[in-house]
């Protein structure tokens, strides 16, 4: 009976890993940062889906100082000549 319980636990863990991978692959189609967080990847890692293939992209964190510019859409963060999106 103990072996049966271990087999059930092992199968459940494998199914969880497969589900997590499928969820991350699906999420990567729309939001690479979300997909990376689903797999609990370190900060500055991003997944990009290309069909059945998923690319892992790594960035580097840098500290910046930004200003606020008010546009017709309201206040926007600006760094040098760029606006900053909420996902980086």
Question: Has this prediction a pTM greater than 0.85?
Answer: no
Q: What is the pLDDT of residue 87?
A: 57
Per-residue pLDDT of 66-83, as tens digits, reads 888 887 878 888 888 877
Q: Parallel, antiparallel, or unpaired for β 82-83 and 74-79?
A: antiparallel
Domain assignments of the chain as residue spans, ordered by start: 2-60
**How many residues are given for the chain?**
88
Per-residue pLDDT of 30-55, as tens digits, reads 999 999 999 999 988 999 988 878 89
- CB proximity list for 36: less than 8 A, separation 6 or greater: 24, 45, 46, 47, 56
């Amino acid at each position: 009976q103990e072996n049966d319980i271990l087999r059930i636990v092992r199968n459940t863990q494998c199914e969880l890993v497969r589900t997590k991978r499928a969820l991350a692959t699906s999420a990567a189609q729309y939001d690479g940062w979300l997909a990376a967080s689903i797999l609990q990847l370190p900060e500055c890692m991003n997944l990009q889906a290309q069909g059945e293939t998923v690319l892992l992209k790594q960035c580097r964190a840098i500290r910046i100082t930004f200003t606020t510019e008010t546009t017709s859409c309201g206040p926007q963060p600006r760094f040098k000549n760029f606006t900053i999106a909420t996902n980086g």
